[in-house]
Copies of this chain bind each other. A is one copy, B any other.
Amino acid sequence: MSSIWGDNIKISVFGESHGLAVGVVIDGLPPGIPLDTRKIDFEMKRRRPGQNIYTTQRTETDKVEIVSGFFNGFTTGTPLCGIIKNNDKRSTDYEDIKNIMRPGHADYTGFVRYNGFGDYRGGGHFSGRLTAPIVFAGAIANQYLEQKGIVIGTHLLQIGNIQDESIDSVNVTTKQLQLFRSMSFPVVNEQVQDKMKEEINAARMECDSVGGILETSIINLPAGIGAPIFDSVESRLSAFVFSIPGVKGIEFGTGFKLSSMRGSDANDEFYISKDKAGCSTVNLNCSDTYNREISKNTPENNIPRTRTNHSGGINGGITNGMPVLFRTCIKPTSTISKPQHTINIDTMQETEHIFKGRHDPCIAVRAVPVIDAAAALVVMDLLLEKEV
């Protein structure tokens, strides 16, 4: 069931790029979350196309109509459905090329999967446009997380060959992450911004595209979230992140570099922190009935922390109270306007083709708010894990 996700909240995503609308039903939201629609609009705007030359020129207002589950300013607790109309459709762009399988794209695999019945216009249900309802759902999750002090932010660690600095994995701050959310090119070192834009523009001018790496931080998560084996935080985050078009790799904490390290370097040693910045031992899993005196020696300002954060805040699949950190690799946009060799699925002949139509020269940029939304939804789902 490819378009439903979640355990404690469930989102059901629907729509095609050139159909009437895209949208999402969110089931399992707690009742009584006050929703600020301006914050939703803000997140939608972060993802919206057509805002500058570094993104596709399709223009959509991406205004969400909330159809249900929202009453008198609060969530009702029953399913919340949001719908986003498709306005700027040029479906004729696709009629001529419906049998030409774009290399790197889902044209061929979608054709086989859906036996030729899929809506081929603009990628149909495979379109990056389906990330709009995900961003909407994430914007709601984010307002839930804000109330708990949990903050998520992502920056462009790499675009093509241009690299930003990595975040400080131990001391990443709310301020830094909020700054990322306000930037259209979020980076740690602002001096690389122009170089990144040049990198994208260079690809664009050559009718080509370029990839990138995003680095995401989640802070103020309590220790004890997630579970061993199949509900590890890494499993849950990676499963969602690989649902975003173009993602081809993910790593947590020090990631692939851990392969060449020794355990004595990679292990994050614990100590007792005397301040409570950036972490918490609030145990969401304590039962009223059976609660042992776990916290007797744990005054609020006396908290286990680690001096390094190679694990990305996750041990054994469960948060340890340190920042959760992961990096996502985004491949270059598949649809490019350079001539490419491919096949015609109807004639089963090889052909060379130039794909016109509008596309992002670097989807990594617009993936930033989508990754933030994914992280918010996963974290909310894990936090709502039943209390026992």
Contacts and interface: CB of A to CB of B under 8 A. Distances in A.
A245 B268 CA distance: 16
A287 B22 contact: no
Interface stretch (A54-62, A169-177, A187-195, A207-215): A207-215
B262 A31 contact: no
Size bracket, chain A contacts: 35 or more
A242 B232 contact: yes
Contact of A67 (B83, B147, B242): B83
A317 interface: yes
A177 B7 CA distance: 35
Nearest to A79: B14
Given A103-B269, A267-B104, A8 B113 contact: no
A4 B14 contact: no
A19 B67 contact: yes
B1 A341 contact: no
Interface string A320-338: 1000000001111111101
A262 B306 CA distance: 39
Contact of A16 (B12, B76, B109): B76
A139 B256 CA distance: 28
Contact of A341 (B245, B248, B252, B271): B271
A41 interface: no
Given A32-B292, A235-B239, 10 more contacts: A103-B267, A107-B315, A108-B320, A109-B224, A110-B316, A115-B283, A160-B260, A249-B258, A263-B334, A264-B340
